[in-house]
Structure 1
Amino acid sequence: MRLKVRMISLTAGLALLLSGCSGRSEANPQLGGDKDGAFLLKGVSDVEQVSQITGADSPNKTDQYAVFGTDLGSMINDGDKTYFVFGDTFATRAEGQIGGGGDYWRSNTMAYTTDDNPADGITLDGMIVDEIGLAKELLPSKKTDFDEMTKIPTYGIAANGALYLYYMSVNHWGDSGQWDSNYASTAKSTDGGQNWTLLDDLKWPGDSNFIQVSPYKLKVDDSHSDIYFWGIQSGRFGDGGVKLMKVAEPDIETADAYLYYAGQDEKGEPIWSSDLAQAKTVVDDTVGELSVVWNPYLQRWLMTYLREGQGVVIREGLAPWGPWGDAIDLVTAGEQPGLYAPFMNERYIADGGKTIYFTLSLWNPYNVFWFKASLEK
């Protein structure tokens, strides 16, 4: 199939040539500028649970917002505020209950903080609440099995003065680690997460490799930022591995503006296509709930994700499209049974990025925890 090519003006084309139109820049290591670079990450050390973020037993006592049990906890930075986005949320649960379930079910909720010291845990400033002060559902769902069971937020990003939340419409929860999605889409908030508008013109098919995404905004020059999205299929056992797409920040709401990584040319430069079917795998593995950030200590990309049944792993990348190094154990299932959703945030590091912090969900007690690890190079 021939690649679809977006036309650009002569002026824009010259500007792109001057700045490195291929997306790779010798001056920008984030775009693979260090072509002769070697992998640096040798392992991790000092991995520990720092604190609990959600639940009645957490320092934040989120049960005051009717958040007794919840999961996920991906993060969005906007100014000095960081938003934590949670999945299926419940107000009360039966004693000893494991996993999702309970009363006052909301498909997604959000907290926020200005806490910039991750060393002692995360103190939440509050949550997005309804008129009586309870954490409200951001994106309503039908809650009907084999139709739309729930809308699960996978990640979000601040762009163009707004918040964008990427989510998957889940048709049915199957066996552990397996679920079917109707589609993936995006919602937008212009009032700090209080209200959301569904962007129904921006959708990816339920069988695509962009149902769960991890976005990262990358500044190309003083006037231009691209947003890269690493994506996976529904569930945790898809055979598509991780694929990659990008969009210019001003075009984030335009479906046709998204470009998909379609491999490399004879010079090793990335090829971008507007055809979703041309998307190539950048990490070949069994991947659940992924997170990708740039790490200043390694001057490399970091990717964390769940290998169902084994634990959470971390990989190092030389460019958004790779190459990516071998997977290294970060937290094993033996150390933390029922773990999933290891989400990083470029804001929460220490020692110049040698220490990273991340959220981790535990199926028992079905809440979100705060972890740390040291990178060894």
Structure 2
Amino acid sequence: MAGRFRFTLLSRWVLLAFVLLPIHRSSSSGTVQVDARGTRKVCQVVGEFDRQRNVPTVNVTETRFKFWGSDLGASFEHKGKLYVLFGDTHPSGGLARARDADSIAVSNTTNPQDCVRLSFLTEPDGGFRQLQIPGVYSGAFAVPTGGFSLDGRMYILASGDNRERRNIGRSVLARSDDDGHSFRYLYDISRDRMVHVAPVPVPAGQVPDLPVSGGAGLLLWGSGDFRRSDPHLAFLPADAVEQPGALRHFAGLDPVTRSPRWSADEADSVPLFHQPCLGELSAGWNPFLSKWMLLYTCGGPRASTILRTADKPWGPWSAPETLVDPAEQDGECGFISGGRPPQPSQWTRFIRFSRRCPAVSDPHTPSTPGEAYGPYLISRFTQGEPGRSSTIYFLVSTWNPYTVVLMQTRLRVAAGGRVVQDVAPVAPRP
């Protein structure tokens, strides 16, 4: 009986990817617009207390896992559960962990309105388990950027080898055979244009014009120099994930056929569009809108969260639309600190006295403005009405307070819209 259900490595991976990413070849008839009234905070995911709402967080991470703050939160599916990779995690007093250790959590949440209920991997002392890749620096600013599941094994991509307060030097691929409790380094992905990498599994035959027959594998979106680079794209075949020479970089469109060109040489990689401000990013397919979505951090010192959409992984991409602007969220009782004392609210016809907004800033950084960075899409939460609208959910980090919040945004199809950014074609090689 067991023999009848024994799949090959590739077929099992393809089945999993098909379940997680139902991609269709057809595209929507219009461009996608962000509903200006449809973006809001759902909940605060980490930390002990939501100061904006004056309530404990759903995960009370100081009490349960002995850390008071963290950032990022790249998620992926593994063995039917949602795994979430967090960046620099700050332990509570008395816990013997590096101050900027990374961490990993598991969730069974299926309804985003319940927030994201997390169980962090822990050590015998009850504190969170530090995510480490032997031989790869994992201190400040070196963080996991994405993950995927293949044949029962967990793979993650991480940035590393940066010096304190300097740009990150490389991206690496690592594997876990025990569901995230330990990892081993496999190889470098990039030291140039793909340092911050967001992977998306694609099933065989669902995305045309990929560089391998059948097309099963991983699409990798990436950025290079931190918040100073354009986005790039690469592909890794499903049956060669652990072979570094199998990676293929998007090298532009053929000027005649308009088909994508792929190269084993990263130097041939071309930007998907010009906006040299990218930092953290995530991507995913929206089956309700028949669009690829790219969410990314742009600029500084007060970074914003941006969205673009496209019919194909390489574009052409829509104009950028802002999802979360920290300057708009630090106003009247917002959830991001503006680096200044809270101000009294306006009078209303129902309230006859002036109240003050809560101080959302971390106590030790009252003058530090917050940001809206690390937008990580949670694809299992995506909802919508085919061809008309969709609600997406994603995690965003706020820097001050040093925490992660779950956001939701409503998108709608605007018929007759135009795509404003195209990929430059490249001349055929002799």
The two structures have a TM-score, normalised by structure 1, of 0.80
Letter aligned with residue 304 of structure 1: L
- Cα pair 2:134 2:184 within 8 Å, conserved: no
Q: What is the alpha-carbon distance in structure 2 between the residues aligned to residue 294 and residue 278 of structure 1?
A: 26
- Give the C-alpha shift of residue 92 in structure 1: 2.8
2:178: which partner in 1? Answer: 191
Q: What is the alpha-carbon distance in structure 1 between the residues aligned to residue 122 and residue 86 of structure 2?
A: 13
Structure 1 outlier segments of 4+, above 3 Å: 28-34, 140-144, 147-151, 221-224
Q: Is there any run of 5+ residues in structure 2 with no aligned partner, and where?
A: 1-20, 50-56, 207-213, 330-369, 414-430
Work out which of the two has the higher radius of gyration on C-alpha atoms and give 1 or 2: 2
Letter aligned with residue 178 of structure 2: D
1:280: which partner in 2? Answer: 270
Q: Deviation per CA, 1:320-358: give whole Å up to 9, x if none.
A: 000000001111121234221111022112234711111
**1:268 aligned onto 2:258:** yes
2:336: which partner in 1? Answer: none
Letter aligned with residue 131 of structure 2: L
2:373: which partner in 1? Answer: 340
Greater mean alpha carbon deviation, residues 163-172 or residues 319-328: 163-172
1:158: which partner in 2? Answer: 149
**1:49 aligned onto 2:41:** yes
For residues 5-44 of structure 1, what are the structure 2 equivalents within 5 Å?
Answer: 34=27, 39-44=30-35
**1:256 aligned onto 2:227:** no
- Give the C-alpha shift of residue 115 in structure 1: 0.8
**1:307 aligned onto 2:298:** yes
2:202: which partner in 1? Answer: 218
- Give the C-alpha shift of residue 303 in structure 1: 0.9
Q: Deviation per CA, 1:93-125: give whole Å up to 9, x if none.
A: 7xxxxxxxx97424210010111111231112x
Q: What is the alpha-carbon distance in structure 1 between the residues aligned to residue 225 and residue 174 of structure 2?
A: 19
- Cα pair 2:121 2:128 within 8 Å, conserved: yes
Percent of aligned pairs with the same residue? 26
**1:350 aligned onto 2:402:** no
Greater mean alpha carbon deviation, residues 273-282 or residues 215-224: 215-224
- Give the C-alpha shift of residue 42 in structure 1: 2.2
- Cα pair 1:170 1:180 within 8 Å, conserved: no
1:4: which partner in 2? Answer: none
Letter aligned with residue 61 of structure 1: V
Q: 1:108 aligns with which of 97, 102, 105?
A: 102
- Give the C-alpha shift of residue 143 in structure 1: 10
- Cα pair 2:393 2:406 within 8 Å, conserved: yes
Q: What is the DSSP-based 3-state SS (H/G/I as helix, E as strand, rest coil) of the residue aligned with 1:180?
A: coil
Tell me the number of residue pairs that the alignment of Structure 1 and Structure 2 aligns: 328
Q: What is the DSSP-based 3-state SS (H/G/I as helix, E as strand, rest coil) of the residue aligned with 1:272?
A: strand
Q: 1:247 to 1:328 in 2, by over 3 A?
A: same
1:81: which partner in 2? Answer: 81
Q: Is there any run of 5+ residues in structure 1 with no aligned partner, and where?
A: 1-27, 94-101
Q: Deviation per CA, 1:50-104: give whole Å up to 9, x if none.
A: 11111111211111212211000110111320011101111137xxxxxxxx974
Q: What is the alpha-carbon distance in structure 2 between the residues aligned to residue 103 and residue 225 of structure 1?
A: 39
Q: What is the DSSP-based 3-state SS (H/G/I as helix, E as strand, rest coil) of the residue aligned with 1:305?
A: strand
Letter aligned with residue 356 of structure 1: I
For residues 83-232 of structure 1, what are the structure 2 equivalents within 5 Å?
Answer: 83-92=83-92, 104-124=98-118, 126-139=119-132, 151-174=142-165, 179-199=166-186, 201-205=187-191, 208-221=192-205, 225-232=216-223
Letter aligned with residue 166 of structure 1: L
Q: What is the alpha-carbon distance in structure 2 between the residues aligned to residue 283 and residue 249 of structure 1?
A: 27
- Greater share of strand: 1
- Cα pair 1:262 1:271 within 8 Å, conserved: yes
Q: 1:48 to 1:250 in 2, by over 3 A?
A: same
Letter aligned with residue 78 of structure 1: H
Q: What is the DSSP-based 3-state SS (H/G/I as helix, E as strand, rest coil) of the residue aligned with 1:172?
A: coil
The two structures have a TM-score, normalised by structure 2, of 0.71
- Cα pair 1:163 1:188 within 8 Å, conserved: yes
Q: What is the DSSP-based 3-state SS (H/G/I as helix, E as strand, rest coil) of the residue aligned with 2:219?
A: strand
2:396: which partner in 1? Answer: 360
1:10: which partner in 2? Answer: none
State the superposition RMSD in angstroms: 2.6
Letter aligned with residue 58 of structure 2: P
